[in-house]
Amino acid sequence: MRTGQQFASLAQTLMLGCLPLPPSLCFPGVAGFPYSDTANYEPFLPYGVRGVFAGAAVVFFSFIGFDTVSALLGALRAAGGAQRRLGC
């Protein structure tokens, strides 16, 4: 039987490694491009490159935090009695 971490790793590999995924992600952007309004791009990057890096840092650390919490929960479940002591 697979552990939660092994299952999550397998699911992520299957979702990100499948060939139909990139076209299915690109299709809405390509299909909707003719309906886009170029006036909406007026203040393109209003905070500059610094804003892009700040947003990327928030997303990166959010994912790292989620990954850490899920790995910790998997370790606690594998430990058995440690859950009761920590109140999980």
Give domain status of residue 41, yes or no.
Answer: no
Q: Is residue 69 part of a domain?
A: yes
> Is residue 68 domain-resident?
yes
Q: What is the pLDDT of residues 21-44, one digit of tens each?
A: 677 778 888 899 999 888 888 888
Question: Has residue 54 got a pLDDT over 70?
Answer: yes
Domain count, the chain: 1
**Per-residue buried b or exposed e for 9-38, using 16+ beta carbons within 10 Å of the residue's own CB:** eeeeeeeeeeeeeeeeeeeeeeeeeeeeee
**Measured distance CA(28)–CA(72) in Å, rounded:** 36
Using CA atoms, how far apart are residues 19 and 21, in angstroms rounded to an integer?
Answer: 5
Which domain range does residue 61 map to?
A: 50-76
- pTM score, two decimals? 0.43
